[in-house]
């Protein structure tokens, strides 16, 4: 419930602005009050009348309107809210926020607020991937701004990729996680998630690693937090943002990941989605290995600890332990064998064969393999896989008594 919570909704200019209306409707249905600022560009896509109709309030738009300032100044407007939500957050609004510009009511309110800000970016894929937007997003995340989306998919401009506004339900879930932390079916539970690759040094400048973006593991951590869990995310090196409301421990190597996981235990649930390197270089060179007449160096490998298998045998084993299996063939059969070998309760098996587009992409097609069943889930975005998995986890835990 968001009863009596006050949301300041800033609607930027973009084809997705109409979804902000649906968001306003959902928020009000949940008991929140919504006050909207519509930017000049936003007005090109939705009318102030439609916004006012759905928020049930006056719509703010002009910084220099004397009547607005007399009724409620821009400072007060930005502070009277419990949370500021920017949806859609355009490249322009994001750039203004990252640089502290304040030349209209939306950017002024964003600079003047003392409340948390959640942005839901939406823009053309090339704009999203542009170095300037990457820089601005990194700045905002560093400033503590929470982010939801964007999603991957086909765009109004005919291109395909990340840049679509998150669905209103997902924005609502992110608002819930920020305003009502600890509420939800996993309330009172500790969920430990591993994510990303590990980097195993060869020398101070080179390493070996697995391909992993961390998107699936991070999405699971985010979904578990949204479901009310206390979440520890042990992450290898990734280039994506930390999920909001999650305790993140950053590591480089498998052995560091093992130590961080041991420190984080006990936990009710462990979801190990990291792509841990199976081997490390036995004796990494202290200095950069130089090319020379001796030819290519030979590397001697040592086996890394299997974190999942070792936690499965630990006295502090979580009651529910979920592993991942990335396979390129015989996906389910290999996952069933892995479940036995590792001693975990479930395996989320995904097909990462070269044509699948799973590696680094935003979609996943998985099978949930348990001791006595296999469930095939349809191909869906990684954050939906995360939500579905968290729902299964919540159902499994509620079926057994709390200790």
* Part of the chain binding ligand C5P (CB under 6 A), chosen from 168-176, 218-226, 267-275, 351-359: 267-275
Does 229 engage in binding with ligand C5P (CB under 6 A)? no
Does 276 engage in binding with ligand C5P (CB under 6 A)? yes
Catalytic residue among 157, 205, 371, 395: 157
* Residue reference for tokens 């009710």: 268
Sign of the dihedral defined by the CA atoms of residues 249, 252, 254, 256, in that order: negative
Does 385 engage in binding with ligand C5P (CB under 6 A)? no
Helices H / strands E in the chain, number of each: 15, 22
**Three-state SS for 217?**
helix
What is the total count of residues that contact ligand C5P (CB under 6 A)?
15
* Part of the chain binding ligand C5P (CB under 6 A), chosen from 29-37, 78-86, 271-279, 355-363: 271-279
Does 87 engage in binding with ligand C5P (CB under 6 A)? no
Instruction: Tell me which of 224, 307, 331, 385 binds ligand C5P, using CB under 6 A.
Output: 307
Residue ranges in 123-182 that form contacts with ligand C5P under rule CB under 6 A:
none
Whole-number Cα distances in Å, 156 to 128, 133, 151, 381: 14, 19, 13, 19
> CB of residue 237 vs ligand C5P: minimum separation in angstroms?
15
Does 45 engage in binding with ligand C5P (CB under 6 A)? no
Instruction: Tell me which of 83, 95, 234, 274 binds ligand C5P, using CB under 6 A.
Output: 274
Spatial CB neighbours of 348, under 8 Å, sequence gap ≥ 6: 273, 322, 323, 324, 325, 366, 367, 368, 369, 385, 389
347 DSSP β-pair partners: 323, 369
Residue ranges in 189-208 that form contacts with ligand C5P under rule CB under 6 A:
194
> CB of residue 241 vs ligand C5P: minimum separation in angstroms?
21
Q: Which is nearer to ligand C5P, 124 or 364 (CB)?
A: 364
**What are the φ and ψ backbone dihedral angles of 221, each rounded to 5 degrees?**
-60, -45
Q: What is the C-alpha separation between 397 and 367, in angstroms, rounded?
A: 20
Spatial CB neighbours of 146, under 8 Å, sequence gap ≥ 6: 116, 117, 118, 119, 174, 178, 244
**Three-state SS for 380?**
strand
Give the contact letters, 324-363, x = binds to ligand C5P (CB under 6 A), - = no.
xx------------x-------------------------
Contact 371, 339 (CB under 8 A): yes
Instruction: Tell me which of 177, 179, 308, 320 binds ligand C5P, using CB under 6 A.
Output: 308
Q: Which is nearer to ligand C5P, 246 or 274 (CB)?
A: 274
Instruction: Report the phi/psi class of residue 122: left, alpha or beta, with left for phi > 0 and alpha for psi in -120 to 50.
Output: beta
Task: Determine whether 344 is an active site residue.
Answer: no
Active-site residue set:
157
Contacts to ligand C5P by CB under 6 A: 194, 254, 272-274, 276, 278, 304, 306-308, 323-325, 338
């Amino acid at each position: 419930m968001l009863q009596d919570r006050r949301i300041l909704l800033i609607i930027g200019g973009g084809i997705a602005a109409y979804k902000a209306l649906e968001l306003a409707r959902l928020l009000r249905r949940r008991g929140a009050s919504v006050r909207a600022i519509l930017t000049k560009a936003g007005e090109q896509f939705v009318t102030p009348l439609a916004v006012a109709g759905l928020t049930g309030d006056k719509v703010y738009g002009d910084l220099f309107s004397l009547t607005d300032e007399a009724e409620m100044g821009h400072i007060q407007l930005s502070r009277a809210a419990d949370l500021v939500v920017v949806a859609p957050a355009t490249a322009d609004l994001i750039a203004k926020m990252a640089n502290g510009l304040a030349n209209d009511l939306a950017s002024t309110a964003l600079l003047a607020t003392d409340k948390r800000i959640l942005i839901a970016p939406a823009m053309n894929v090339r704009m999203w991937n542009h170095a300037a937007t990457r820089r601005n997003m990194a700045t905002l995340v560093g400033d503590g701004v929470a982010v939801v989306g964007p999603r991957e998919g086909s765009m109004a401009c005919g291109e395909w990729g990340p840049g679509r506004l998150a669905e209103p339900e997902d924005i609502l879930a992110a608002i819930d996680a920020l305003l009502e932390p600890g509420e939800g079916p996993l309330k009172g539970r500790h969920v430990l998630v591993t994510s990303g690759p590990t980097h195993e040094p060869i020398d101070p400048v080179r390493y070996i690693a697995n391909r992993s973006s961390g998107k699936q593991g991070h999405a699971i951590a985010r979904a578990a937090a949204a479901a009310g869990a206390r979440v520890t995310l042990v992450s290898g090196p990734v280039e994506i943002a930390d999920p909001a409301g999650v305790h993140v421990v950053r590591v480089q190597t498998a052995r560091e990941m093992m130590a961080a996981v041991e420190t984080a235990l006990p936990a009710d649930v462990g979801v190990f989605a990291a792509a841990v390197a199976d081997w490390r270089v036995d004796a990494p060179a202290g200095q950069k290995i130089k090319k020379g007449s001796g030819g290519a160096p030979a590397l001697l490998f040592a086996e890394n600890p299997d974190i999942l298998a070792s936690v499965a045998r630990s006295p502090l084993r979580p009651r529910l332990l979920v592993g991942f299996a990335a396979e390129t063939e015989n996906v389910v059969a290999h996952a069933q064998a892995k479940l036995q070998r590792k001693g975990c309760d479930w395996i989320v098996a995904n097909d990462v064969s070269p044509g699948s587009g799973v590696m680094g992409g935003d979609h996943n097609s998985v099978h949930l393999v348990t001791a006595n069943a296999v469930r095939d889930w349809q191909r869906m975005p990684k954050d939906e896989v995360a939500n579905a998995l968290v729902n299964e986890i919540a159902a499994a835990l509620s079926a057994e008594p709390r200790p």
